[in-house]
């Protein structure tokens, strides 16, 4: 199974459709809000939301964002050395309890490091959309990833460590 990508494996213009999607349940959202101290009644008070624009609770934006990002790890940042920054995170539509979110990522740019040629920075945009085809979120981020040669060295070090530990047994 491929998990993440090395610098050479990113092609500017490529589109990665992440799989699988994720239905965001009421339970997910309540747990997330409590875990992150987000007590906005828009997310946790169903009675309050009856008097708001959508007349029902909205899934907390950071949960939609975090899931879309999580979905992209296997295709984008699973081998990352560092996640540098998000240039923007835009909420483009509401997510309600029971909605299913899918995500896809486009490669916008890549640049090999001049000071450390064993790594490079990749710029991608990820969008999340729901079962009704509505785009609900987009974000642009920069990730530092290893070259194939660097990744191979890391992999060999991990394998040798495990092998040595097993020999000792």
- Summarize as ranges the residues that interact with its own copies (CB under 8 A): 3-4, 22, 28, 31-33, 35-42, 47-48, 50-53, 60-63, 65-67, 69-71, 73-74, 77-78, 80-91, 154, 157-158, 161
Q: What's the rounded Cα separation, in Å, for the pair 30 and 150? A: 41
| Nearest residue (CB) to its own copies, 89 versus 110 | 89
| Nearest residue (CB) to its own copies, 66 versus 135 | 66
Nearest distance, CB of residue 166 and its own copies, angstroms: 13
Secondary structure class of 125 (helix, strand, coil): strand
CA dihedral 37, 42, 43, 49 (to 10 degrees): 140
Nearest distance, CB of residue 99 and its own copies, angstroms: 15
| Nearest residue (CB) to its own copies, 36 versus 131 | 36
Q: What's the rounded Cα separation, in Å, for the pair 80 and 6? A: 8
Residues 6+ apart with CB under 8 A from 25: 97, 98
Nearest distance, CB of residue 37 and its own copies, angstroms: 4
| Nearest residue (CB) to its own copies, 63 versus 107 | 63
Q: Nearest 5°: phi and psi at 50?
A: -60, -25
Q: What's the rounded Cα separation, in Å, for the pair 120 and 100? A: 33
Nearest distance, CB of residue 115 and its own copies, angstroms: 15
CB 107 within 8 A of CB 14: yes
| Nearest residue (CB) to its own copies, 2 versus 13 | 2
């Amino acid at each position: 199974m491929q998990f993440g990508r090395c610098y050479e494996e990113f092609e500017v213009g490529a589109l990665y459709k992440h799989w699988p999607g994720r239905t965001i349940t009421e339970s997910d959202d309540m747990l997330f809000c409590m875990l992150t101290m987000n007590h906005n009644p828009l997310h946790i008070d169903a009675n309050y939301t009856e008097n708001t624009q959508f007349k029902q609770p909205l899934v907390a934006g950071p949960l939609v964002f975090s899931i879309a990002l999580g979905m992209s790890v296997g295709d984008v940042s699973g081998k990352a050395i560092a996640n540098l920054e998000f240039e923007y995170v835009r909420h483009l539509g509401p997510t309600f309890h029971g909605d299913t979110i899918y995500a896809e990522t486009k490669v916008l740019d890549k640049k090999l490091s001049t000071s450390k040629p064993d790594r490079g920075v990749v710029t991608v945009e990820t969008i999340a959309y729901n079962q009704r085809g509505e785009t609900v979120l987009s974000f642009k981020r920069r990730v530092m990833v290893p070259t194939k040669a660097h990744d191979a060295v890391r992999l060999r070090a991990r394998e040798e460590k495990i092998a040595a530990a097993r020999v000792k047994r």
